Structure 1
Amino acid sequence: MGEIDTSHGSIGRIGSSGLARPRHGEDTALAILRSTFGYEAFRPHQAEIVDAALAGRDVLAVMPTSAGKSICYQVPALALGGLALVVSPLISLMSDQVTALRQAGVAAACLNSALGAEERREVLSQASRGELTLLYVAPERLDDPAFLDMASGHGVALLAIDEAHCISQWGNDFRPSYQRIRSFIDALPTRPPVMALTATATQQVREDIEASLALRNPLRVVASFDRPNLSFSVERPSSRADKNAALLEFARTREDRSGIVYCMSRRAVEEVCDSLCEAGLAATRYHAGLSPEERERNQEDFLFDRKTVMVATNAFGMGIDKSNVSYVVHYNLPLSLENYYQEAGRAGRDGTRAECLLLYSPGDVHTAEFLLSRTQRDDLTPEQLQTMHEADEARLRQMVFYATTTDCLRSFILRYFGEEAPAYCGNCGNCLADFEEVDERTNALKILSCVARVRQHAIAANSPATSVGAGSLVDILRGSRAAKVLERGWDSLSTYGIMSEVPVPRIRAIIDELVFREYLTRSSGDFPTIELAGRGVVFMKGNKPFIMRIAKGKPRAPKRDERRTRKARNAGEEAPDLTPEQAELFERLRELRLSIAREQQVPPYLIFNNATLEDMCRKRPISAEDLLEVSGVGEKKAERYGQAFLDAIAQEA
């Protein structure tokens, strides 16, 4: 993955930087939170996790993206003194967090493959000399004897394991290197408190994490997965052209805001990025087929707000802490709800409102199944690989159900992760859409009957092809004269052409609903086919209605205040709780932040995030003391940037 320049070289050499040294016992965790990070109070669950770590107790914490997991180990690291290790598989996460910590005056560094041999030796030397408070390390580094010697000789005050779901073969990103963490812990002369943290983990994965790390009577925290500031919606374009048009319309109305568009393939990334650029949008791209230099350059353009839209495969964004992403669009269906929620969760990380849009087409399912079937892992045994494939198929089915449901999207996500949720959230595409309830029993029976007729026809012809894919099923029902239909004699079926007047998207939607209700089954593999299930046979024999909710149009959108200037209106949409005057100031402060960031060559959100700028606009501080009352302004940042922002606010008075 690409990294910003500060992730190697300069980060390691901090011996004479004057950064803050570890706090000692007389400083409370809350005092550290306020003075170093600029927050007046802990978020839900943070305080109990910090207290447990300070008491020497192990922790297993499952908290969604933006819930503040990093604070849970950064604050105790500063309070305990000594060296805190943070295990992470994500180079970009290390880079972002180390840069942010240094902005706050904390002595931090990282140790991973992006550093050269000399740089790695220097980081180890600094750690040995007690010059570091937090050291981020890739799991593979734990196998290095030199690293173990340093950790054993200097001592480890705290061990935090980020992305802890990677240790479980039931998780969505199993990494065997994580399973060696326990050996590292056992080899230390003195066992430190161990914290395992992750954003997504089912009950099975949580149990696997706890057992694999041999956590001792851990504090178990499973925070709500709900992200109230995110709105979710799904659109179902009937063609690629319609999908491109929907994306372009969405991005154009948000051209001054930062967003990510995820695509399933490198080719799609190239095509989508080109189309956005041709439309005049400031877009860039990221995928594994680009050179490391271009990936890093494009990532920096996005992080530094030189480009507002990043079009990328899922290779981008893991660990990127860019807090002002206002929207995430999935151009294709993700492989699982775990992946989707993690990627969508990169929007609104600072708590401001953000949008998450999925553009779904049935063809995405075939592509996803093809990708899963081609997954190979040299680090897994055949048995582990088979287990992973089966789990992947089950997760993909749930992702399809999400994309096709007409129920509350937020509720669907929360219940998937084992959390009770109301049936209506009032802030997702389905809850805001105008639906009509339609009894599709007749059309459902036609589809089920067609599936049965295809099977009977194949058996009579002594053909092994007793089932067909959804595309062929639609062709038969609509009376297509395609060569495949005629060659196989499907035009002789009694169900041939019986839905010729029904639009293809409507037929596809009913097929998806029949699969969701388990009246039909969809096989996996390169060429998935549709078959009649037992529940479908029962339905055909009965008189039960088949009620579906059909959307009449697009979700309702909040009305805009047309009296505002375009930039102020966009700022107001990004920070909707601000008055028009506050929105104008928000835009001025954002421009100042960008200017300072470019001068210092750091991403703007590392100066102050959007939520902090919003709070400045509401509180309008006039002194350094007032500025420290703004959420997200710590002592070091107030010292570095405070006067410039106070002057800008005074000019708007």
Structure 2
Amino acid sequence: MSDNLNINKKYKTPEEVLKVLFGYDTFRPGQKDIVDAILDGRDVFAVMPTGAGKSLCYQIPAMMLDGITLVVSPLISLMQDQVNSLNEAGVSAAYINSSLSDRDLFETVKKTGNGEFKILYVAPERLMTEGFIELAKSVNISMITVDEAHCISQWGQDFRPSYMKIVEFVKILGKRPVISAFTATATETVREDIVCTLGLGNPYVLIGGFDRENLYFQVDKPKNKEQYILDYIANHPNESGIIYCATRKNVDSLYEILADKGIAAAKYHAGMNASERKQMQDDFVFDYKSIVVSTNAFGMGIDKSNVRFVIHYNMPQSMENYYQEAGRAGRDGLDSKCILLFSPQDIVINRFLLEHKEVADIDPADLETIKERDNQRLQVMERYCYTTGCLRNYILKYFGENHENPCEDCGNCNREFETLDMTDAAKKIINCVYEAKGRYGRGIIIDTVLGAKTARLKEVGATNYKSYGVLNSIKRSMLMRVIDQLVYEKYLVVGDYQVLKMGDIRRLKDSATSVMVKITDEDKRPEKARKVNKKVAEKSSLTSSGYKLFERLRELRLEIAREENMPPYIVFNDKTLIDMSAKVPTTKEEMLEVSGVGENKFKKYGDRFLKAISECCKELPELITKK
């Protein structure tokens, strides 16, 4: 930790801090607006991709504000790297976490109390300890910065219950400081969750563009992954790269293979002791070794700009994780490769890891929600590995950016696929969507044309459609490809909650117009029997009036969440609101039949939700008639 005491130096402008302390002449896009908002006393929430310069957005105003800035950070290695970098720049910074000896902790607390630091990094677990609360109340905290803010959201890919201590901590401070929150990857739902949970008041919000044009995305399915990697390294000599594996066992195995071939590689995982990890990390960062094989424990806060490739030996568990890890390539802006090596076994491995991941301090009532969201994210990654569309657009769409045209510069855009004429099947699917009147999603549409014998199809009357069973000889995966193509060509439109609606089909009336679908080898494989076991309604099963009720209930949930300064999912999760919208309860007894509504939840929220349902039923009487 540094004894540099720039703490008393007064800087006139953010540009002066940027130049004097950090050596940059100009801000990157978005940085100055965030800095200015903080200096104006506004809360800030920013989503900025890896390499966009998030740290400077809070470090610069920290140097200009009167008091100390607390930075809540989830990883010890990340704190240490940030503090070391700040100390090197001449900034008085320190950290408090479990890595400190008792003596170092005492010294750090003493210096903090004496006002010797401008920035103090702290682990979230430390915030509500008696000693830290006493320290916090004795100093002038000008800002609390929440790094990796997605960790506070149960919708996020890396939810950490310890992050909820931030909310408790802010409440006990006599004076509320400015709160700034940053993350690299967050969907719209996660963003909403962060703002609600942290209680950000009229925050300045920046959602940076997610596209990294210098990164080339590619998915390969080699028979032998180890040989693929050896060949790649041989064809790219002297290039620096990271190879991510899902398990420590895979890291150790691949590291041995590379070492046996005389390849200068490092390895990194949580099973190694701290000194070994530090040595391996330094060997890679300082280019003594050009390649590191690692679990996802490696990379947070590692600012190595010349990584030319990131190879994922296994499919990651979420798009958030994948994009953050892949984004460690090409931070210098030069062309770099992001390659994912996929095999169906990856799905099995990830499901096992998710089933056995740590759930300490998580309310058992929330576990089902977490598992459901983990599974949804895994499905997103699986579809990424199988898609024949533009990989870049797939990623950007997940984060809310829609691009009409393919990038023409990714593995899929540059790959030759087998193309089939699926015009007849496409027209039959369109007929089914027409009969469904835009009320259902892909699942029900595909079940209908396949002629599936499910209670849900019978309930909604789909078994009486003319299109029922008309495509029973075509594989489900192929029908998914056809629907994807119809959406891409705008013959169909995806509405709210993923329902399929009619688009512009006039071109299909021309007999010369065809619907051509690209397929892969996977589409030719025999299809496994599909298990159907849905006791609770899905969004795609709601009627149009049911969707309106669902939307009204979502608004009420958000209203309550903001009142109580908590994430919306704690009120009721989406599954509960969907079931509520399908069952339309009007009494306490009926409400308690809704999945996820227990006596305690009803006592807290039941009357307000019953009132909202009653009001909606007056506007939409068909809700009652269809009960």
Shorter-normalised TM-score: what interval?
Answer: 0.5 to 0.7
Output one character per residue of 1:491-546: Cα deviation in whole Å (capped at 9) or x when no partner: xxxxxxx9xxxxxxxx9xx8865566689xxxxxxxxxxxxxxx9xxxxxxxx977
Structure 2 counterpart of 1:90 = 75
Structure 1 residues 98 and 352, CA, compared in 2 at 3 Å: closer, same or farther? farther
Output one character per residue of 1:195-240: Cα deviation in whole Å (capped at 9) or x when no partner: 0111111111111111111111111111111112211111111x2x
Residue 335 (structure 1) aligned to one of 289, 312, 317: 317
Structure 1 counterpart of 2:123 = 138
Structure 1 counterpart of 2:245 = 263
Output one character per residue of 1:162-219: Cα deviation in whole Å (capped at 9) or x when no partner: 0111111111111111111011112222211100111111111111111111111111
Structure 2 counterpart of 1:412 = 394
The answer to whether the 8 Å contact 1:22/1:81 transfers is: no
Structure 2 counterpart of 1:232 = 217
Structure 1 residues 232 and 80, CA, compared in 2 at 3 Å: closer, same or farther? same
How far apart, CA to CA, are the structure 1 residues paired with 2:38 and 2:339? Answer: 38
Bigger RCO of structures 1 and 2 (CA < 8 A, at least 6 apart): 1
Structure 2 counterpart of 1:361 = 343
Residue 352 (structure 1) aligned to one of 323, 330, 334: 334
Structure 2 counterpart of 1:20 = 6
Output one character per residue of 1:387-408: Cα deviation in whole Å (capped at 9) or x when no partner: 0110011111110111111211
How far apart, CA to CA, are the structure 1 residues paired with 2:196 and 2:341? Answer: 39
Q: In the alignment, residue 360 of structure 2 is paired with which amino acid? A: D
How far apart, CA to CA, are the structure 1 residues paired with 2:237 and 2:309? Answer: 11
How far apart, CA to CA, are the structure 1 residues paired with 2:361 and 2:42? Answer: 32
Residue 278 (structure 1) aligned to one of 239, 260, 273: 260
What SS does the corresponding residue of 2:158 show, helix, strand or coil?
Answer: coil
Output one character per residue of 1:605-624: Cα deviation in whole Å (capped at 9) or x when no partner: xxxxxxxxxxxxxxxxxxxx
**TM, length-normalised to structure 2:** 0.68
Structure 1 counterpart of 2:570 = none
How far apart, CA to CA, are the structure 1 residues paired with 2:257 and 2:480? Answer: 34
How far apart, CA to CA, are the structure 2 residues paired with 1:440 and 1:282? Answer: 50
> Residues 130-209 of structure 1: matches in 2 within 5 Å?
130-209=115-194
The answer to whether the 8 Å contact 1:93/1:321 transfers is: no
CA drift at 1:263: 0.8
CA drift at 1:87: 0.6
CA drift at 1:363: 1.9
What SS does the corresponding residue of 2:271 show, helix, strand or coil?
Answer: coil
CA drift at 1:440: 7.8
The answer to whether the 8 Å contact 1:255/1:281 transfers is: no
> Residues 532-571 of structure 1: matches in 2 within 5 Å?
547-549=517-519
> Residues 98-497 of structure 1: matches in 2 within 5 Å?
98-237=83-222, 239=223, 242-435=224-417, 437-439=419-421
How far apart, CA to CA, are the structure 2 residues paired with 1:186 and 1:438? Answer: 61
The answer to whether the 8 Å contact 1:22/1:80 transfers is: no
CA drift at 1:342: 1.0
Structure 1 residues 515 and 53, CA, compared in 2 at 3 Å: closer, same or farther? same
Output one character per residue of 1:90-138: Cα deviation in whole Å (capped at 9) or x when no partner: 1111111111112211111111111112111111111111211111111
How far apart, CA to CA, are the structure 1 residues paired with 2:34 and 2:219? Answer: 36
What SS does the corresponding residue of 2:42 show, helix, strand or coil?
Answer: coil
CA drift at 1:257: 2.2
Structure 2 counterpart of 1:30 = 15
How far apart, CA to CA, are the structure 2 residues paired with 1:514 and 1:236? Answer: 22
Structure 1 residues 350 and 147, CA, compared in 2 at 3 Å: closer, same or farther? farther
Residue 48 (structure 1) aligned to one of 33, 39, 42: 33
The answer to whether the 8 Å contact 1:440/1:548 transfers is: no
CA drift at 1:36: 1.6
Output one character per residue of 1:546-581: Cα deviation in whole Å (capped at 9) or x when no partner: 721559xxxxxxxxxxxxxxxxxxxxxxxxxxxxxx
How far apart, CA to CA, are the structure 2 residues paired with 1:372 and 1:272? Answer: 23
How far apart, CA to CA, are the structure 2 residues paired with 1:106 and 1:350? Answer: 24
What SS does the corresponding residue of 2:205 show, helix, strand or coil?
Answer: strand
The answer to whether the 8 Å contact 2:417/2:518 transfers is: no
Structure 1 residues 192 and 46, CA, compared in 2 at 3 Å: closer, same or farther? same
Unmatched segments (≥5 aa) in structure 1? 1-10, 445-451, 457-497, 499-506, 520-534, 536-543, 552-653
How far apart, CA to CA, are the structure 2 residues paired with 1:513 and 1:319? Answer: 42
What SS does the corresponding residue of 1:429 show, helix, strand or coil?
Answer: coil
Unmatched segments (≥5 aa) in structure 2? 427-446, 452-472, 485-499, 501-513, 522-627
How far apart, CA to CA, are the structure 2 residues paired with 1:297 and 1:415? Answer: 39
How far apart, CA to CA, are the structure 2 residues paired with 1:359 and 1:442? Answer: 34
Structure 1 residues 22 and 224, CA, compared in 2 at 3 Å: closer, same or farther? farther
CA drift at 1:63: 1.0
Structure 2 counterpart of 1:531 = none
Q: In the alignment, residue 423 of structure 1 is paired with which amino acid? A: N
Output one character per residue of 1:265-311: Cα deviation in whole Å (capped at 9) or x when no partner: 22211221112222221112122223333223222222222221111
Structure 2 counterpart of 1:615 = none
How far apart, CA to CA, are the structure 2 residues paired with 1:325 and 1:511? Answer: 40
Structure 1 residues 161 and 324, CA, compared in 2 at 3 Å: closer, same or farther? same
Structure 1 residues 184 and 209, CA, compared in 2 at 3 Å: closer, same or farther? same
The answer to whether the 8 Å contact 1:58/1:195 transfers is: yes
The answer to whether the 8 Å contact 2:419/2:516 transfers is: no
How far apart, CA to CA, are the structure 2 residues paired with 1:261 and 1:368? Answer: 17
How far apart, CA to CA, are the structure 2 residues paired with 1:414 and 1:289? Answer: 34
The answer to whether the 8 Å contact 1:344/1:356 transfers is: yes
Structure 1 residues 310 and 442, CA, compared in 2 at 3 Å: closer, same or farther? farther
How large is the Cα RMSD of the aligned pairs? 3.2
How far apart, CA to CA, are the structure 2 residues paired with 1:518 and 1:22? Answer: 63
Structure 2 counterpart of 1:68 = 53
How far apart, CA to CA, are the structure 1 residues paired with 2:307 and 2:214? Answer: 12
Q: In the alignment, residue 20 of structure 1 is paired with which amino acid? A: N
Structure 2 counterpart of 1:568 = none
How far apart, CA to CA, are the structure 2 residues paired with 1:377 and 1:548? Answer: 41
CA drift at 1:433: 2.9
CA drift at 1:48: 0.9
How far apart, CA to CA, are the structure 1 residues paired with 2:183 and 2:353? Answer: 25
The answer to whether the 8 Å contact 1:439/1:548 transfers is: no
Q: In the alignment, residue 49 of structure 1 is paired with which amino acid? A: I
CA drift at 1:376: 4.2
